[in-house]
């Protein structure tokens, strides 16, 4: 039956979302330190804690959508994703910028990520609002799944970019030295 095949495909796609939501880096290490390393590491820790909390919420939303690919399940996933994204945006904006030569660029990258994630939530909400009937719900679940995967990729890309922003390696070193970042920096291996 086409609906069963479509739901199976959606289930597989949701599984990919869970994988895409994982952040990682290219590994490596840096021995560059600065006198502001403590403040920079505190900032990096805040970024990592916020990203990890968001990832966990998105993985949970994707899991609940996979187990309940209905309009009600989609509504729950949308609400969870919206709440997690609003919290992430607020947390990231509250961190300000790190005390490094590329601090403003790092802040701008996180602000851009927040804006993009919020736009993606709006896309998912629109899909839900326009869903009617089984075909509409299947299309909305599929759209939400793709958008969640995109969001996970955006987070991963931004995290990787943050580590390479400055020539002195201050941010990369701060991320590597912060225990809050362990799961993010080791996700891609060493």
Say if residue 136's pLDDT is above 70: yes
Task: Please give the angle made by the CA atoms of 43, 47 and 53, to the nearest 5 degrees.
Answer: 140
Which pLDDT belongs to residue 106? 94
Q: How many Å is the maximal CA-CA distance in the chain? A: 64
Q: How do residues 92-134 score in pLDDT, each as one tens digit?
A: 999 999 988 899 999 999 999 999 999 999 999 998 898 888 8
Say if residue 78's pLDDT is above 90: yes
Q: How do residues 140-152 score in pLDDT, each as one tens digit?
A: 988 998 999 999 9
Say if residue 12's pLDDT is above 80: no
| 168 or 139, greater pLDDT | 139
Q: Considering only 26-35, 50-59, 82-91, which range has the smallest mean pLDDT?
A: 26-35
| 161 or 37, greater pLDDT | 161
Which helix (H) or strand (E) segment is 60 a member of?
A: helix 37-67
Q: What is the mean pLDDT of residues 167-173?
A: 80
CA-based nearest residue to 125, from 138, 140, 137 = 140
Question: CATH top-level class for 35-179?
Answer: mainly alpha
Dump the DSSP string for 125-180. HHHHHT--HHHHHHHHHHHHHHHHHHHHHHHHHHHHHHHTSSTT-HHHHHHHH-GG
> If you ran DSSP here, which 8-state letter would residue 187 be given?
T
CA-based nearest residue to 172, from 23, 51, 30 = 30
Contact 24, 185 (CB under 8 A): yes
| 89 or 64, greater pLDDT | 89
Which pLDDT belongs to residue 186? 64
- Reported confidence tier of residue 3, pLDDT bands at 50, 70, 90: very low
Task: Please give the angle made by the CA atoms of 157, 155 and 188, to the nearest 5 degrees.
Answer: 60
Say if residue 35's pLDDT is above 70: no
| 40 or 24, greater pLDDT | 40
Say if residue 15's pLDDT is above 70: no
Which pLDDT belongs to residue 87? 96
């Amino acid at each position: 039956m086409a609906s069963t095949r479509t739901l199976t495909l959606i289930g597989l796609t949701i599984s990919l979302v869970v994988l895409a939501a994982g952040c990682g880096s290219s590994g490596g290490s840096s021995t560059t330190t600065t006198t502001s390393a403590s403040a920079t590491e505190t900032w990096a820790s805040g970024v990592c804690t916020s990203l990890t909390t968001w990832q966990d919420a998105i993985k949970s939303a994707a899991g609940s959508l996979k187990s309940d690919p209905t309009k009600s399940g989609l509504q729950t996933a949308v609400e969870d994703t919206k709440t997690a994204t609003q919290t992430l945006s607020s947390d990231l904006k509250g961190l300000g910028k790190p005390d490094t030569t590329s601090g403003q660029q790092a802040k701008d990258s996180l602000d851009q990520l927040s804006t993009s994630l919020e736009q993606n939530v709006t896309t998912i909400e629109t899909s839900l609002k326009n869903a009617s009937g089984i075909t509409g719900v299947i299309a909305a679940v599929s759209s939400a799944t793709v958008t969640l995967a995109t969001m996970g990729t955006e987070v991963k890309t931004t995290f990787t970019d943050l580590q390479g922003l400055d020539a002195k390696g201050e941010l990369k070193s701060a991320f590597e030295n912060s225990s809050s970042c362990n799961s993010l920096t080791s996700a891609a291996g060493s």
